[in-house]
Amino acid sequence: MSDVVGVLALQGAYEKHVEMLSGLGVESRLVRFARELDDCCALIIPGGESTTMSLLIQKFNLYDILREFAEKKPVMGVCAGAILMAETVDDSRVIPLKIMPITALRNNYGRQVSSFSANLNLKCDDEDSAYAAHFIRAPGLASNNDIVEELASYNNEPVMMRMGLHMALSFHPELTNDDRVHVCWLSGFHPSFQ
């Protein structure tokens, strides 16, 4: 199996994920066409605007392809990416991919003036130190399903969730120099982290 990680590059913070992966010695590929997904071992759906990304996914016939990909391979969704991975979204303009049984609330924390940084405890690593997370017009995430595991919370609300090898996050791990979130996700499947 290939060990190239795809990064959906329709719009948003895709380059920051490529930089993070490159720093970890992981090869990545920007994905805008279905054919570019073919030999990817996993996919990151980055932050950006979920309405714009959803529209481009529909227009360029990526919807079924992304869903099929997620049935076999790991996906990590960040912010807008987490919204797209959800089962339900509080905005009819976003057609979610239904990759994880979660509900996403767009702009749950308000407009940009309410964007913030906060220290989190990640349940997926053994390190004791806090993880400085950046929330930008961040979505709220919720799930009642037992197969979804909460890996971090803020004010008692989940902000990082895992189901099997899939992960969904409200905050932006690509905007820090701390690679623990990417390592946490990659260590579930990537040959370099076994």
Partner 1 sequence: MNDSKQATSSDDNFTVKVGLAEMLKGGAIMDVTNADQAKIAEDAGAIAVMALERIPSDIRKDGGVARMSDPDMIRQIQDTVSIPVMAKCRIGHFAEAQILQALEVDFIDESEVLTPADEANHVAKHDFKVPFVCGSTCLGEALRRIGEGAAMMRTKGEAGSGNIVEAVRHMRTIQNEMKRLTIMSKEQLMSEAKNIGAPYDLICYVAEHGKLPVPNFSAGGIATPADAALVRQLGAEAVFVGSGIFMSEDPAARAAAIVKATTYYDDPETLLEVSSGLKAGMKGLLMQDISPEDRLATRGW
**What is the distance between the alpha carbons of residues 42 and 159, in angstroms, rounded to a whole number?**
21
User: 134 catalytic, yes or no?
Assistant: no
The helix or strand, by DSSP H or E, that contains position 191, with its residue range, turns out to be: none
CB closer to partner 1 out of 103 and 121: 121
Site for partner 1 in 74-93 (CB under 8 A): 79-80, 91, 93
51 makes contact with partner 1 (CB under 8 A): yes
Draw the binding track, 90-129, toward partner 1 (x: CB under 8 A; -: no contact): -x-x------------xx--xxxx-xxxxxxx--------
User: 41 catalytic, yes or no?
Assistant: no
Question: b or e along 138-168 (b: 16 or more beta carbons within 10 Å of the residue's beta carbon)?
Answer: bbbbebeeeebeebbbbeeebbbbbbebbbb
Q: Which of 78, 134, 92 is nearest to 109 (CA)?
A: 134
The one catalytic residue in 40, 41, 79, 184 is 79
Rounded least distance, CB 156 to partner 1, Å = 5
CB closer to partner 1 out of 155 and 194: 155
Rounded least distance, CB 85 to partner 1, Å = 17
Rounded least distance, CB 52 to partner 1, Å = 5
User: 174 catalytic, yes or no?
Assistant: yes
**What is the distance between the alpha carbons of residues 84 and 79, in angstroms, rounded to a whole number?**
9
**What is the distance between the alpha carbons of residues 64 and 175, in angstroms, rounded to a whole number?**
30
